[in-house]
Amino acid sequence: MEKKASEIRQWVRKNRGKAVTLLQRLVQEKSVSGKESSAQAIVIEVCRELGLEIDIWEPDSKVLKGNENFVSTRENFFDSPNVVARWKGVGGGRSLILNGHIDVVPEGERLQWDCDPYEGKIEDGKVYGRGTTDMKGGNVAMLFALEALQATGVHLKGDVIFQSVIEEESGGAGTLAAILRGYKADAVLIPEPTNMKIFPKQQGSMWFRLKVKGKSAHGGTRYEGVSAIEKLISVIARLRILEEDRNKRVKDPLYAKIPIPLPINIGKIEGGNWPSSVPDLVTLEGRIGVGPEETIHEVQEEMKQVLSRLKEADSWFAEHPVDLEWYGARWIPGGIEEEHPFVQSIKKNYKEVTQKEAILEASPWGTDGGLFTSIGKIPTVVFGPGTTEVAHHPNEYISIENMLDCAEIIALTMMDWCEKAK
Residues assigned a catalytic role: 103, 168
- SS3 string, 156-217, reads ECCCEEEEEECCHHHCCHHHHHHHHCCCCCCCEEECCCECCCEEEEECEEEEEEEEEECECC
Task: Quote the CA–CA distance of 77 and 173 in Å, as a whole number.
Answer: 10
Residue type at position 165: V
Q: What is the chain's percent helix, strand, coil content, to nearest 5?
A: 40, 25, 40
SS3 391: coil
Q: Residues 74, 78, 80, 81: is their CA dihedral positive or negative? A: positive
Backbone φ, ψ for residue 380 (5° rounding): -135, 135
Q: Widest CA span of the chain, in angstroms? A: 86
CA 178 to chain centre: 16
Q: d(Cα 39, Cα 44) in Å, to the nearest integer?
A: 9
Cβ contacts of 392 within 8 Å, gap of 6 or more = 105, 134
Whole-angstrom Cα Rg for the chain: 23
CA angle (172 as vertex; 103, 87 as ends), nearest 5: 75
Q: How far does Cα 316 stand from its chain's mean position? A: 40
Closest Cα partner for 45 from 147, 125, 117, 115? 147
CA distance 26 to 19: 11
Distances from the Cα of 157 to the Cα of 15, 89, 101, 143, 347, angstroms:
26, 5, 26, 18, 21
One-letter identity of residue 32: V
C-alpha pair distances (Å), 218 with each of 277, 317, 380: 5, 22, 57
Q: Which of 155, 86, 198, 224 lies closest to 415, judged by CA?
A: 155
